[in-house]
Amino acid sequence: MLCQLYRVSILDTSNITLCLTIGQRPQLLRQTLESLFKQAQFEHIIAINDFGDEETNAVFKALCPHGQLICLEQRLGHHAAVDYMYSHVKTEYIFHCEDDWHFNSLPNFENTFELLSKQPQASCVSLRHCNDFYFKEEEKQYIQYETILGTHVVRLDVLHKQWHGYTFNPHIANIQLWQSFNKNFAQFKKERHISRKLRAKNKYMLYLADGNCHHIGATQSVSNPPKERFFSKENLNTMLRQVFKYS
């Protein structure tokens, strides 16, 4: 059992719950969990599969037998599913994660908690590598690098008026952040609307300068599946057949 095999970390996870949104991407979930559990074992784990597919459920149960799996009879929608999952959290902090990330490291959680407590304007600490983002040359000069409580962090909020206030990418946050929205992320249509609300309160995300994970599921999105290109090989072959048929 994977959660029991990787005993390589001394990270204290007693006050943080790993919260996973999963579904329809069992192989990506496997990659995510395998890379994550090489870095730490988690005492508290909750996953919600809003799609209900058994393949994904089987991967979660096999790799994390002590985790709590939520799989309801009807779909809630992403934000409502997050609300439902968070309502089961008993710890002070949440490690939010999706099912399409590769982790090469994890931060010291206690240091991250202290960072959040001493920086009240910080909404959360993102674990995504900053080099996962594309920056125009003229933007790079505005990226802010700081050292807070001995931790090297990056701020990207100056680059965009809406983004970098919140994300559902892997991050660590105090559960009070969600509670400050009346435990209701579902009141917002998009992630950027949550971010916009927090930015209006002068809140921002902190990125760890070293970064901990990379996105591996860009081409397998379940919320925004890639659209077929009009000039794909298949479409071109279809058009050519039609041309020759009527010529």
Report the run of H or E that residue 84 belongs to, with start and end: helix 78-86
Residue 42 lies in a domain: yes
Containing structural domain, residue 171: 16-215
Residue 138 lies in a domain: yes
pTM: 0.87
Residue 128 in this model has a pLDDT that exceeds 70: yes
Mean model confidence pLDDT for the chain: 90
Residue 5 lies in a domain: no
Determine the pLDDT at residue 233: 42
User: How far is the C-alpha of 179 from the C-alpha of 21, rounded, in Å?
Assistant: 19
60-98 tens-digit pLDDT:
999 999 999 999 999 999 999 999 999 999 999 999 999
93-127 tens-digit pLDDT:
999 999 999 999 999 999 999 999 999 999 999 99
174-198 tens-digit pLDDT:
999 999 999 999 999 999 999 999 9
Determine the pLDDT at residue 86: 99
Determine the pLDDT at residue 239: 39
User: How far is the C-alpha of 239 from the C-alpha of 235, rounded, in Å?
Assistant: 6
Determine the pLDDT at residue 238: 37
CATH number, residue 35? 3.90.550.10
User: How far is the C-alpha of 2 from the C-alpha of 4, rounded, in Å?
Assistant: 5
How many C-beta neighbours within 10 Å does residue 56 have? Answer: 24
User: How far is the C-alpha of 62 from the C-alpha of 44, rounded, in Å?
Assistant: 16
162-175 tens-digit pLDDT:
999 999 999 999 99
Residue 230 lies in a domain: no
Query: How many structural domains compose the chain?
Result: 1
Averaged pLDDT for residues 15-36:
99
Q: DSSP characters for 180-239?
A: TTTT-GGG-SSHHHHHHHHHHTT-EEEEESS--EEE--TTS-SSSPPPPPTTSHHHHHHH
Residue 49 lies in a domain: yes
Residue 201 in this model has a pLDDT that exceeds 80: yes
Q: Which amino acid is at 18?
A: L
- What are the residues whose beta carbons fall under 8 Å from the beta carbon of 236, sequence distance 6 or more? none
Residue 54 lies in a domain: yes
Q: How confident is the model at residue 219 (pLDDT cuts 50, 70, 90)?
A: confident
Q: Which amino acid is at 142?
A: Y
Percent share of the chain, pLDDT over 90 = 84
Strands 68-70 and 122-126: unpaired
Determine the pLDDT at residue 107: 98
Residue 241 in this model has a pLDDT that exceeds 50: no
Determine the pLDDT at residue 10: 78
Residue 88 lies in a domain: yes
Determine the pLDDT at residue 222: 60
Residue 229 lies in a domain: no
- Bridge partners of 13? none
